[in-house]
Amino acid sequence: MKQVTDKLWISGQPTDADLAVAAQAGIRRIINNRPENEEPTQPGMAEAAALAGQLGMDFVNVPVTPGRYTLEAVRAFQKAFAEAQGPVLAHCKGGTRSLTLWAIGEVLDGRMKLTDIDALGERLGTNLAGAKDWLRTNS
């Protein structure tokens, strides 16, 4: 898990053990950004939601196909994040989609500048070129 803010962490697909560690660390909501059956080995949404619930976390699904960001997905991510009753772990296959959704929303709402995205990506070891491209095209 990589900490983005006091309230947001990102990661790739968490294992059951990773979810247990997240719960122990105080995570209260999981936001999944992977479409169902993106890969044959990924856990199903119902299974992941059930495990999160058993560990005291709620589970929100905001699926995004890699490279296909939409304003609707950004706003759904923001809503799920804002309504969380504590820290959030957002995940996809590697963390990039989750961080991209958050960064786009932050820029659209004026909490971050487009010019801040490179430093954010560098700090977290994540390529956010997709966020910058989307913002240049859609805002």
Please state the separation of Cα 72 from the chain's center in Å.
15
Asked if 37 contacts 2 with a C-beta cutoff of 8 angstroms, the reply is: no
The crossing angle, in degrees rounded to 10, of helices 45-54 and 16-24 is: 30
Q: Please, how many CA atoms are within 13 Å of residue 73, restricted to the half-sphere of its CB?
A: 25
Residue range 17-26: mean pLDDT, rounded:
97
- In the block, residue with structure tokens 């969380």: 84
pLDDT digits (tens, 9 = 90+) for 56-79: 999 999 999 999 999 999 999 999
Domain locations along the chain = 2-138
Q: Which fold has domain 2-138?
A: Protein-Tyrosine Phosphatase; Chain A (3.90.190)
- What are phi and psi for residue 62, nearest 5 degrees? -130, 80
Please give the Cα distance from 38 to 113 (Å, whole number).
32
With bands split at pLDDT 50, 70 and 90, how would you rate the model's confidence at 37? confident
